[in-house]
Structure 1
């Protein structure tokens, strides 16, 4: 689960698809020519300050962009269709979607020279899954047998184990993984950076490795992490994986806002910005031409509702709120028409996405909204709206939503609760909010299941649960191919019927880069820029 993550997607890939200036469909990655193709040189990337650099400790896309160069997880995702491909692993086999045998590459090492083995993966996964460690990516390991023993449900209870019983190291290159239940999406999960291996030094002293990570990827840390200023990487000469690094060095330059980073890109002070502000899309296209890309995204914004609050307990109230929101007007006014009004719980790049899944519930209809709101009895008291201060557009669209709810439903007492992302995350996770909140989801892998599990996990921020929904998700997990997709769609229908999260809009990713570099690799399924593929022209 990755609530309140930033705009970039999260699954590291190793593929050679390159972005152009035109938007493309989910199965049609954009392409541009490689201007040089020569190895060597250095380039810079604009970045927001990461929270951590130890894979299991972070789900932030800012961190994952750096980790994409430092670590190789077992799998990568094909940008054409999102299918998992081997990376640190050579293969994964299963007969029942429960027991998986993963075979890893031999002869690879970490940046400190330590051999990468199956145990390196098992140790990393155990550390992330152990509840008392409180690593952010902990929940990604919930599918593995033994997770519950490491994360007891009862408050105050202590774990009864330190390692996942579902992990068995067979030999140096073989790991057997037993899941709690059939889960056909498991190979996709293996592409998430939290499943990367860790050396013994990292599991012994995770705090030190959090700021000075020791990975197994094509790049290694160069010097120290200069907080709020710079992170430097250099090519790892001992890399034995399949990703050949083209540039010798990469400098991540830290900026506090995307607007500032865009100004720096125009001035030639940074080479790549993967998150061009929507308001600058026309200017970016004019200035950068074929070096500006707009791509469909799996990132979605929602209005989360605390359904255990009696005022929001009636689904009719929740549907009335949804129908009172003019998604098209907001995306035009605030996001320059780049973002697209949501008609589903999932992004339109996801296999199985249905453009009419939400139906009339997500269509702007003030009269019907007011009628439904009044039929449900409305509610008294102030309407408090919660959002973070990390992007000025969040307050802008919350202001628009507030005005529309006032005008269309007659809710006059609306208060804003704006706070730092970390504070908001803590408040929402503890269920202490007293009203609707901005909820963002960034895909980890292109599956409907990723949204369903990520938004509606047990104890989720909305407080919603439904046994029929849970059963359908479990049935989808055990199924394959089209059967799995159809079952997940039935679960999505239940979530849309009850509407604990109101879908708002589907992001579109915008990137631009300087003429100093070529072979820029960005696709709809990636963690952002594919660092290893970029070439330097001078």
Structure 2
């Protein structure tokens, strides 16, 4: 999941209106005896999509995860938790998965949630006309190429023998396929969803999750969720979640200001404000700090000059003083990353696997630059998404690249939605700031989407990279290792193959450039609500929060 914020406009009227209502955290029942669920208020920036067929970055995933419930979810510590999957059987060769679906649950419009609703939802994601950016987790399912390429309209490998049985046939063995279904793209959908081009459904998805939409998505303004009282599992405790959509240019600042004024009950903060906010709110027990399953990194566009060779990419990595930026810009509140896989994946974590990341080495940076054709004065485009607190550290990295290598670094800040679009263009070169938070609890969720050639998913007509391998790293040996890891039944042996794959792509060939581990900071209105936490996806655990 691409971790960042995105939007175009801020609507002042939304903020003013919220200020008038922020004094009350709960909706009172008719007797006036106390809160009836409560209303939780927060800000995000404009998502790309909230419909499961293309829900992708943290903003959209937050909404989708609360509108839909799939086969499994993940606990905050990355353990697989059964939801609609009552049981599962896996063939000895790892190619056939048979899930038994919990019966008796329904979508918020009354339609039953059955095996066919999963077939419908998964087909809708992969279909060519959907042009989904999140179809890649289905790539190992039989019939994916035909459906995604447009030569088929049904998903050959996904069938419903009966209402309670979902059968999945894979083209290659994958002993972790069940973990992939945590991704929101694997959500079931009702018949009313129709094709992915159904704009009414895109803006007001009807799901089977703990919340449902109140009205439609008001683009660049707001999204409102209300408790789904027909939810098939434990009901949400909040009555309503009011989400304001903020300006991409200063989204984290507006969240922080909104929390300070009482408009929001949850907030991110601009990087320079982190120490100040911690000093003020930690004593009030309104400060949340957590190491999460993710990584902050630089996309290096592997197929376009000047970074179209490993030596040039290693020069960039060696030139960056991660420790200095962590201590200076982040004031000690971020930690340098020397791997793509996070420490939370204990079986596969390799501290220092990226040798160019361990410590700034100016001499090695210059040596690799000379070998890689990065001459002083070389123009290097450096893109980043605005409004999420990245400006300060991006400028610091750019200055280091100028000082150490003499590069002419051109900073290119854009709203997140526009940033994602530019990353997809085949001719885009240079660097781009990026981050990845886990969508499902397996190393495959990092290595495949970010580095496997199957996740480039280039559109033959436009040349755009529809997958998340935006740097277009492509090595058949790496792809073979990922396939081998998936097909390895023994967990320890599988972990060893994932480690080998990471070393090849991240150390030997510097397919991307790790920067910081993923430590998240939030402010939470614990004076008005109980049990506010970061979930596995780095979002607030909305379904478990209750008003005091």
Shift of 1:376: 4.8
Deviations for 1:315-366, whole angstroms, at most 9, x for unmatched residues? 2222122111111122233323222111112222223211121134542111
Equivalent residue, structure 1, for 2:13: none
Shift of 1:520: 1.3
Counterpart for residue 462 of structure 1: 471
Q: Please point out which of 305, 313, 323 is paired with 2:318.
A: 323
Q: Is the 2:386–2:413 contact (alpha carbons within 8 Å) kept by the matching residues of 1?
A: no
Distance 1:435 1:278, change over 3 A: closer
Deviation of 1:377 (Å) = 5.0
Q: Which residue of 2 aligns with 1:446?
A: 441
Q: Does 1:517 align with 2:509?
A: no
Task: Give the one of 359, 363, 368 matched to 2:359.
Answer: 363
Matched, 1:492 2:484: no
1:225 to 206, 217, 223: 217
Q: Which digits, 9 at most, give the CA deviation of each residue in 1:197-243, with x for residues without a partner?
A: 111111257311111111101211123333333222222222212x3
Matched residue, 1:127? 124
Among 256, 265, 269, the alignment partner of 1:271 is 265
Closer/same/farther in 2, CA of residues 93 and 280 from structure 1, 3 Å limit: farther
C-alpha separation in 1, matches of 2:4 and 2:482: 24
Deviations 1:430-470 (A, max 9, x none): 22113222233222123221111111132333232112211
Taking the aligned partners of 1:402 and 1:83, their CA distance within structure 2 comes to 39
Q: Does 1:342 align with 2:324?
A: no
Aligned counterpart, 1:260: 254
CA distance in 2, matches of 1:368, 1:380: 15
Q: Which runs of 5+ in 2 are unaligned?
A: 7-33, 457-468
Look up the match of 1:210: 202
Match of 1:47 among 44, 49, 52: 44
Pick one of 482, 486, 499 that aligns with 1:477: 486
Structure 1 unaligned segments of length 5 or more: list them. 8-36, 153-158
The answer on 1:88 being equivalent to 2:98 is no
**Change over 3 Å in CA distance of 1:39–1:98 after alignment to 2:** farther
Q: Is the 8 A contact 1:68 1:527 kept in 2?
A: no
* 1:147-172 superposed Cα distances (whole Å, 9 cap, x missing partner): 000223xxxxxx22111100110111
Pairing of 1:50-129 with structure 2 (within 5 A): 50-80=47-77, 82-95=78-91, 96-129=93-126
Listed as ranges, the matches of 1:355-394 within 5 Å are 355-379=351-375, 382-391=378-387, 393-394=389-390
1:471-503 deviations in Å (ceiling 9; x for gaps): 111111112312111110000010121002111
| Residues 270 and 389 in structure 2, CA contact (< 8 A), matched pair in contact too | no
Q: Distance in 1 between matches of 2:383 and 2:183?
A: 27
Once the 2 structures are TM-superposed, how far is the Cα of residue 392 of structure 1 from its aligned partner? 6.0
**Cα contact 1:279–1:335 (8 A) shared by 2:** yes
User: Does the Cα contact within 8 Å between 2:336 and 2:516 map onto a contact in 1?
Assistant: yes
Residue 234 (structure 1) aligned with residue 234 (structure 2)? no
Match of 2:185 among 185, 188, 194: 194
- Name which of structure 1's ranges 45-54 and 159-168 shifts more when overlaid on structure 2: 45-54
What is the alpha-carbon distance in structure 2 between the residues aligned to residue 487 and residue 362 of structure 1?
23
CA deviation vs aligned residue, 1:286-334 (integer Å, no higher than 9, x gap): 3332221110123322222233335434422221221111111222333
Of 245-254 and 388-397, the range deviating more from structure 2? 388-397
CA distance in 2 between partners of 1:88 and 1:272 (Å) = 29
Q: 1:116 to 1:180 in 2, by over 3 A?
A: same
Measured at CA, do residues 439 and 526 of structure 1 come closer, stay the same or move farther in structure 2, by a change above 3 Å? closer
Which residue of the other structure, out of 157, 162, 170, is the alignment partner of 1:166?
157
The runs of 4+ residues in structure 1 deviating greater than 4 Å are: 2-7
Name which structure has the greater RCO, CA cutoff 8 Å, separation 6+. 1
- Is the partner of 1:369 in helix, strand or coil? helix
CA distance in structure 2 between the partners assigned to 1:220 and 1:360 by the alignment: 47
Partner secondary structure for residue 341 of structure 1: coil
Q: Could you say what the CA RMSD is over the residues aligned between the two structures, in angstroms?
A: 2.2
Which residue in the other structure is 1:13 paired with?
A: none
Residues 194 and 434 of structure 1: CA distance in aligned 2, closer, same or farther (over 3 Å): closer
2:281 to 266, 285, 288: 288
User: Structure 1 pair 442/392, CA: closer, same or farther in 2 (3 Å)?
Assistant: closer
2:328 matched to which residue of 1? 333
- Asked if the contact 1:129/1:141 (under 8 Å) is kept, the reply is yes
Question: Is the Cα–Cα contact under 8 Å of residues 48 and 417 in structure 2 kept in the other structure?
Answer: no
